[in-house]
Amino acid sequence: MCGIVGFNGHKNGIPKIIKGLESLEYRGYDSAGIAYINNERITIKKEKGRIKNLKDLITEKENAYLGIGHTRWATHGEPTKENAHPHQQGKFTLVHNGIIENYMELQKILKDKHYAFISQTDTEVACALIDYYYQKDANIKMAILNASKQMRGAFAFGIICEDDKETLYAIRKTSPLIIAKSKDGNFIASDVPAILEFTNEYFLLNDLELAEITKDNITFYNEELKEIKKESSLFEGNLEASQKGGYEHFMLKEIHEQDEIIKNTIACYYDGTIASLDKSFPDLTKFNKIDIVACGSAYHTGLCAKSFIENYANIPVNVEVASEYRYKKCFYDKNTLVILVSQSGETADTLAALRKAKKDGITTLAIVNVVGSNIAREADYTLYIKAGCEIAVATTKAYLAQVAMFSLLAIYLGYKKGLIQEEELIEINKDIKNLPKMIRKTIDNDLYFKIADQIYENKNIFFIGRGLDYALCMEGSLKLKEISYINSVAYQAGELKHGTISLIEKDTPVIALSTEDELREKTISNIKEAKSRGAKVIYVTNKIPEEKFYDEIITIEKIHPILQSILTMIPLQLMSYKVAKNKNCDIDKPRNLAKSVTVE
């Protein structure tokens, strides 16, 4: 999704803005632009494609103390130079992240007031609307607020006005935006990595709060234009955490961090005693039904959670994709807990699902990575997964930390309901203690790369499994397609023969997972069905079989079933990574994708 960086300070802001934009590249974009004030003039430069194209337009002589930069992820109109931000209308120049849903209606009104538009974007309409209000009473802050109240949808704006060349303005509704303070000046940014080289002190804006940012001061206003005071927050991570640290890609670095991350996630909530979970979690024992709502990989962690919670705590769990849940009839009541899962905490559909449940008076719990994000702030209860900054678009460490969080939740609920006994808890604790070492050992295996070298030229790759393994297949398949662009399908092993098996031909790779003892025999029969139709079977298991019905075997260590998925996912992550690398794909920024999906 679009990235915003703005600066107003005592030193040249152009390099800072460009650097900030580069650190937001992970969000996904297709054009970049900057507007800055130099010699009392507002200059706009923008270009299609990578930030490098924008940099080529800026000479070293250019110097500006105030500017706004943008990376655009196209929503309205193609990725062209005309549609790139910043946009200018009348006295205003602005950058925008989000979608203005009623922009056509507003555009029509503005056209009648003689505004003309050169781009196809909703952003240019927003800019004209602010100018329109400003022309009425020459009050910049009022104009921004009045226009913002007229716009439906989600937005974060960085705004400059020709009549006040000393000030940067910012406002948001739903889309993320932080305001940061450094010794050289003040920033606005879509996400923390953009400011980390300069400062880690930042402020969060609530919906329709406005920031007036000069070189030395930041003043906040509420939607009635009353001045308000805000407390700043300090980002706990460091700059190194948002850099590659010697790895070729962020994705690889993040996979390699997983032993430490999982250790940390678990240690933050659980010291081996149920008392620690009692302290860490809200009392969830009164709920007799759980809805888990999320998108993409976060949705897949919900499928793992369903298996954990239903099997260990005997509570029915319904897992839903947020874009469906927000519009469907929900059969929840006061005994239902709605859990929202999101790495970014900003995903528009998940946020909308949360708001829907809250509006209906249902208790909500958010499982989130990014501290202070919308979902984290709005839910009744929030559990942070503590996975640190995740930069690669394809999630790995945050996915695994979400799964670990659900394992803890299932242990807690299972114990409280008397379904996990003391002896079993001792077994689980032993495995939790060894888990970081086991994760490390699972990561440090070059077999996955060798197998990836054998399959990367295939056009179709299948993942099959039953039960919990099927949930992992869904994530394995998504990982592969999002970064390698290979068409891949995840199937319940027993369903293959009801249609999909017709797609299997000689040497079609079938990655077959089997880690649950009670389902193993059945899964093996399904694997044999695929094998006898020519499939190249890559068998991923925690038990070496006596019979050879596979072409390659990946063995992972056996661990308590409530923790097993954490290990099983690792080979799938690394195989996808190597397949994409062999295909020269843009691994950290796959085409068309964005890290944080803040539009519907």
| Minimum distance from residue 398 beta carbon to ligand M6R (Å) | 7
Residue 16 Cα to chain centre, angstroms: 24
Q: Helix, strand or coil for residue 28?
A: coil
Cβ neighbours of residue 13 closer than 8 Å, sequence gap 6 or more: 7, 36, 64, 65, 66, 67, 185
Q: What is the separation, in whole angstroms, between the first and last Cα of the chain?
A: 11
Helix or strand holding residue 21 (H, E): helix 14-23
Q: Which stretch binds ligand M6R (CB under 6 A): 67-75, 217-225, 341-349, 531-539?
A: 341-349
| 595 classed as catalytic | yes
Cα–Cα distance, 13 to 184 (Å, whole number): 9
| Helices within 420-511 (DSSP H only) | 422-443, 447-455, 468-484
| Minimum distance from residue 123 beta carbon to ligand M6R (Å) | 23
**28: contact with ligand M6R by CB under 6 A:** no
Q: Residues 48, 91, 306, 595: which is the catalytic one?
A: 595
One of 107, 148, 307, 347 touching ligand M6R (CB under 6 A)? 347
Inter-residue contact 187 to 180 (CB < 8 Å):
yes
One of 482, 488, 514, 572 touching ligand M6R (CB under 6 A)? 482
| Minimum distance from residue 335 beta carbon to ligand M6R (Å) | 26
**296: contact with ligand M6R by CB under 6 A:** yes
Cα–Cα distance, 553 to 571 (Å, whole number): 11
Q: Helix, strand or coil for residue 293?
A: strand
The b/e string for 199-215 (b: 16+ C-beta within 10 A; e otherwise) is bbebbbbeebbbbbbbb
**176: contact with ligand M6R by CB under 6 A:** no
**298: contact with ligand M6R by CB under 6 A:** yes
Residue 466 or 479: which CB sits closer to ligand M6R?
Answer: 479
| Of 577, 251, 568, nearest in space to 396 by CA | 251
Residue 175 or 344: which CB sits closer to ligand M6R?
Answer: 344
| Minimum distance from residue 131 beta carbon to ligand M6R (Å) | 34
Q: Which stretch binds ligand M6R (CB under 6 A): 72-80, 209-217, 338-346, 424-432?
A: 338-346
Q: Which stretch binds ligand M6R (CB under 6 A): 35-43, 182-190, 293-301, 505-513?
A: 293-301
| Minimum distance from residue 386 beta carbon to ligand M6R (Å) | 15
Residue 503 or 593: which CB sits closer to ligand M6R?
Answer: 593
The site for ligand M6R, by CB under 6 A, has a size of 16
Q: Residues 2, 330, 389, 473: which is the catalytic one?
A: 2
Residue 185 Cα to chain centre, angstroms: 29
Q: Which DSSP state fits 59? A: -
**338: contact with ligand M6R by CB under 6 A:** no
Q: Which DSSP state fits 245? A: T
| Minimum distance from residue 62 beta carbon to ligand M6R (Å) | 36
**477: contact with ligand M6R by CB under 6 A:** no
| Minimum distance from residue 283 beta carbon to ligand M6R (Å) | 26
Cα–Cα distance, 287 to 283 (Å, whole number): 9
Distances in Å between the Cα of 512 and the Cα atoms of 313, 441, 467, 517 are 28, 21, 12, 14
Helix or strand holding residue 220 (H, E): strand 218-221
Q: Which stretch binds ligand M6R (CB under 6 A): 225-233, 294-302, 450-458, 557-565?
A: 294-302
Place of tokens 């996630």: 265
Residue 546: count other Cβ atoms within 10 Å of its Cβ.
5
Q: Which stretch binds ligand M6R (CB under 6 A): 122-130, 199-207, 229-237, 343-351?
A: 343-351
**484: contact with ligand M6R by CB under 6 A:** no
Within 541-600, the residues that bind ligand M6R by CB under 6 A are: 596-597
| 578 classed as catalytic | no
Within 381-400, the residues that bind ligand M6R by CB under 6 A are: 393-395
Cα–Cα distance, 95 to 91 (Å, whole number): 14
Residue 168 or 295: which CB sits closer to ligand M6R?
Answer: 295
**174: contact with ligand M6R by CB under 6 A:** no
Q: Strands (DSSP E) along 441-567, which ranges?
A: 460-465, 487-492, 509-514, 536-541, 552-555
Within 195-214, the residues that bind ligand M6R by CB under 6 A are: none
**365: contact with ligand M6R by CB under 6 A:** no
**297: contact with ligand M6R by CB under 6 A:** yes
Residue 128 or 354: which CB sits closer to ligand M6R?
Answer: 354
One of 161, 295, 496, 537 touching ligand M6R (CB under 6 A)? 295
Inter-residue contact 90 to 143 (CB < 8 Å):
no
Which residues belong to the active site?
A: 2, 595
Give the interface with ligand M6R as residue ranges (CB under 6 A).
Answer: 295-298, 342-344, 347, 350, 393-395, 478, 482, 596-597
